[in-house]
Structure 1
Amino acid sequence: MVKKKVAFYTIGCKLNYAETSTIARKFSNLYYQHVSFKNYADIYIINSCSVTKNAELEFNRIVRSAINQNSQAFIIAIGCYAQLNYKKVSSIVGVDLVLSYNEKFKIIDYINIKYLKKSYPKILSKIKTNNTYFPSFSIGNRTRSFLKIQDGCDYKCSYCIIPMARGASRSDSIENILKNIKFIFSNGVKEIVLTGINIGDYGKIHGTNRRLYTFFDLIQAIDKIPEKGRIRLSSIEPNLLKNEYIEFFSNSKHFVPHFHIPLQSGSNDILGKMHRRYKREIYQEKVKKIRSFIPDAYIGSDVIVGFPGETHKHFLETYHFLKKLEISSLHIFTYSPRENTKSILIQEHVSKKIQCQRNKILRNLSNKKYRFFCNRQINTKKTVLFEKNSKNKKYIYGYTENYIRIKIPLNSYNLFYINTLQDVIIKKIDKDGIMIAEPIK
């Protein structure tokens, strides 16, 4: 039997990566040969994103890339873009099958029944928002694993389309999460990233409106497992990051000192227009709390520039607020209007030129903050999880527990460092912002 070649591509968040990996495992090696997306394949599966316009444009580019590899390939679209704009996605030349949230986890059934290149209108599954829950995690190709603990969101931020794509907030059970963590660690993975759409809202079980657990219940249960390995959080909302969590993390044996807390704006006026559930004073309080309990913690943030109605005064509020804040870096997003969101109705648009200027200013601020944070780590001892690196033969790279990118010169002695945790002393920072370290022998 000739095996069909299948390739996967993921656009967007860590949650998408977890789900892609879970879906890929449904393609048994007995019947399918898994290949790189850059190679010839019979089936290409693209997990899409709809957070920004750029993510949707990337989907179009990836479809063209698949067609260039094999013009007769069967191309399947899944993910948020496929969920929200299935008619538009199905009209893209080359796409054969569009699967909604529910159907993408039954993808093998569709492959077995529908695997046939069509020249007429595309095959569409029944598209609907579904509040069922499908456990997912990535494993096999990476040093770390992304483990889904929660899906959906009950928040109604005025710019965000994700609740429409993902449905209401719902969670996996603590028992199943612990089982998956133990399985992942037993398979040689050294670090797990807990992912979801709104992980701080963990505890609502799918199919009910009841909260059976809290996020605190979950992290306490995880920290008790005997298996060795690091646990890292993905993004958590500032209003859901309770002080008791921060104190708990400061003494944890598994959770690393790394927080990603979205701010979006340093102006309370703009936060109100965004329908965020906090003011900047709450955010400032959380950063100070982290610094008091975990001084060397990495604190990353998300900021949106050019939101409708963001004046020069509002932007300056954001800039000066961030400049004084003891955070480590920023992810800066330029506002991208999304259909069916409330922000699209705000008439006070910010020009693309001004959006780009504000984006650049904050990126420069982020670079300064990151280098300042890294310089404070010089001559400190850290533990690095080293990764496989095929591009640069001179160095081996990895991340410290507090998320600093590290490199050490590659030699025959440290080849075995890949996918291991090693103690190092940080020595200096290079021109690219990567810290150079020496192993502790």
Structure 2
Amino acid sequence: MKKVAFYTLGCKLNYSETSTIGRIFQERGFEKVEFTDTPDIYVINTCSVTDNADKKCRKIVKEALKHSPDAFITIVGCYAQLKPKEISEIPGVDAVLGAAEKFQLVDILATFEKKDKAQVYASPISEANTFHNSYSFGDRTRTFLKVQDGCDYSCTFCTIPLARGNSRSDSIANVVRSAHEIAESGVKEIVLTGVNTGDFGIQDGTRVESFYELVKELDKVEGIERFRISSIEPNLLKDEIIEYVATSQRFMPHFHVPLQSGSNKILKLMRRRYQRELYADRVAKIKALMPHCCIGVDVIVGFPGETEEDFLETYNFINGLDVSYLHVFPYSERENTLAPDMAGKVSIKERNRRADMLRILSEKKKRNFYEQNIGREFTVLFEDDVKDGQMEGWTENYVRVVAKYDPVLVNETKHVRLTNLDANGLMEAEETFQEVLKH
């Protein structure tokens, strides 16, 4: 029995796919082991969102060879689709598989015998037109369930359509079936993932269902206590979705909504499908119905053409929004996108300065959001990560709670009252048996 280990770079979607590929190996008789357990095979699932994908990939390959010098090393994922030849030249790499091939890698590679040169199996991205059902299992308390893949948008900074192909989705029936399977395994929270999750419903190039319909059907799945929507574009976050989540007992009051810029000028250069006014409207709608809802925001700084005035417009816009935290990305040039050829390049130093400013703002926003919830009652789903004798969990509205480790609490929901913030900015709580307030 050959041993196989996995390493995942990037997003929740990648985690769901790595876990599914792992189950394919196990069904074929391979033993899944930890990265350091001298495996015979490594599968490294890569990301391409930032410009350091090559650096990270090389580092993981180097570390793998330290643990198992004779291992067969396979690279899959977005970076593998975009730069297969480049990856094949990394010392130690034995095989590179593109987007259309990664779920067939056990069949394609068969014996996993090393060759004189790395094997490359990467079809044109147009051939990545099939949806592969995927969800993570056994890796975390929560499960990441993939419902959509690919993207039909053409943002000028993004390579994802080149790495994953056109937008396509599972059917509602199949997603619900997966949710029931996950529920039977004892998992209590599912995070819905996709490249452009709100674009759910396209099959064979035709829209046949909608994300709103999917939400309504998943809300009926018994055994799953919580659903979260990982990320959804503001133009696809319709009123009906917000209104439904506000009354749902299973969909959590937590949205992650990419903004990217608070300047309409920059949004236009990025080819985003909304302007800042729509974004502000979405935040206002959410908060009107769910005052204690958590709202996360993605922001890119230093995009070509972004002047200091444009950046300050973004900073002030976000500062005035009732949002809870930010994911901040300094702009990085990606090959085969339009942005690198645009005028007004911003220096790396300036990009990092702007990013630091927004990260400080994010900490202020997060602390303010946490403080607003002190004294309120929620349920916390505790996870199995233990650090320094403590465990952590999340409330419905994504407040991170710390508690003394108790094995009985793992994957259990407890009614608590939030009491105060500790020195690390985590929420402390006391158990309560009173009826929990949903929002």
Q: TM-score range by the shorter chain?
A: over 0.9
Cα distance change of structure 1 residues 30 and 311 upon mapping to structure 2, 3 Å threshold = closer
Letter in 1 for 2:323: I
Counterpart of 2:311, as a letter, is F
Aligned residue for 1:271? 267
1:106-121 matches, within 5 Å, as 106-113=104-111, 115-118=112-115, 120-121=116-117
Query: Are positions 1:166 and 2:164 aligned together?
Result: yes
In the alignment, does 2:399 pair up with 1:404? yes
Match of 1:17 among 8, 15, 18: 15
Tell me, what secondary structure is at the counterpart of 2:274?
Answer: coil
Q: Is the 8 A contact 1:86 1:127 kept in 2?
A: no
How do residues 16-415 of structure 1 correspond to structure 2 at under 5 angstroms? 16-28=14-26, 31-113=29-111, 115-118=112-115, 120-129=116-125, 130-205=128-203, 208-393=204-389, 395-410=390-405, 414-415=406-407
Give the Cα separation in 2 of the matches to 1:179 and 1:16.
21
Structure 1 SS opposite 2:208: coil
SS of 1:239 mapped into structure 2: coil
Q: How many residues align?
A: 431
Task: Call closer, same or farther: CA 1:30–1:282 in 2, change over 3 Å.
Answer: closer
| TM-score normalised by the chain length of structure 2 | 0.96
Contact 1:11–1:47 (Cα < 8 Å) also in 2: yes
In the aligned structure 2, how far is the partner of 1:8 from the partner of 1:70? 13
Contact 1:48 1:78 in 2 (8 A): yes
Q: Indicate whether 1:429 and 2:389 are aligned.
A: no
**Aligned 8 A contact 1:235 1:259 in 2:** yes
Query: For residues 203-258 of structure 1, what are the alpha-carbon distances to aligned partners after superposition, in whole Å with 9 as ceiling and x for unaligned?
Result: 101xx221110111111111123334210001100011011111111001210000
Instruction: Return the offset for 1:140.
Output: 1.4
Instruction: Quote how far apart the aligned CAs of 1:29 are.
Output: 6.7
Distance in 2 between the 1:99 and 1:29 partners? 20
> Which letter does structure 2 place at the counterpart of 1:406?
V
Secondary structure of the residue aligned to 1:390 is strand
Distance 1:247 1:111 in 2: 48
Q: Deviations over 1:341-395 (max 9, x none)?
A: 01011132101111111011000000000000000110111111101123321x2
User: Secondary structure at 1:368's aligned position in 2?
Assistant: helix
**Alignment partners' CA distance in 1, 2:210 and 2:90:** 42
Shift of 1:30: 7.3
With normalisation by structure 1, the TM-score equals 0.96
Greater alpha carbon shift after TM alignment, 429-438 vs 320-329: 429-438
C-alpha contact 2:145 2:191 (8 A) present in aligned 1: yes
Question: Match for residue 412 of structure 2?
Answer: 420
Instruction: Provide the residue aligned with 2:436 in structure 1.
Output: none
Farther-moved stretch of structure 1 (95-104 vs 361-370): 95-104
Shift of 1:126: 4.0
Cα-Cα RMSD: 1.2
What code does the residue aligned with 2:385 have? N
Amino acid at match of 1:157: C
The gaps in structure 1 that reach 5 residues or longer are none
Give the letter aligned to residue 344 of structure 2: E
Paired amino acid for 1:282: L
CA distance in 1, matches of 2:232, 2:122: 32
1:88, 1:370 → 2: CA distance? 40
Partner deviation per Cα, 1:160-194 (whole Å, 9 max, x = no partner): 00001111111100000000001101110010000
**Aligned-pair distance for 1:426?**
0.6
Looking at structure 1, the residues matched to 4 and 416 of structure 2 have their Cα atoms a distance apart, in angstroms, of: 40
| 2-structure distance, mates of 1:29, 1:277 | 43
Equivalent-residue separation in structure 2 for 1:354 and 1:431 (angstroms): 31
Report SS of the residue matched to 1:327.
coil
What does the per-residue CA deviation read over 1:60-91, in whole Å, with 9 as the maximum and x for residues that have no partner?
11111101112211000000000110000111
> What amino acid does structure 1 have at the position aligned with 2:412?
T
Aligned AA for 2:225? G
What is the rounded CA distance, in whole Å, between the counterparts of 2:269 and 2:210 in structure 1?
29
Please tell me the residue identity of whatever aligns with 1:428.
N
**2:393 aligns to what SS in structure 1?**
strand
Distance 1:202 1:60 in 2: 34
Structure-2 separation of matches of 1:240 and 1:123: 40
Amino acid across the alignment from 2:286: I
Deviates more, 1:176-185 or 1:37-46: 37-46
Gaps of 5+ in 2: 434-439
Counterpart secondary structure, 1:28: helix
Letter aligned with residue 262 of structure 2: G
Whole-Å Cα distance in 2 between the matches of residues 380 and 303 of structure 1? 30
Question: Aligned partners of 1:150, 1:91: CA distance in 2, in Å?
Answer: 32
1:409 Cα shift? 2.1
1:390, 1:142 → 2: CA distance? 12
SS in 2 for 1:44: strand
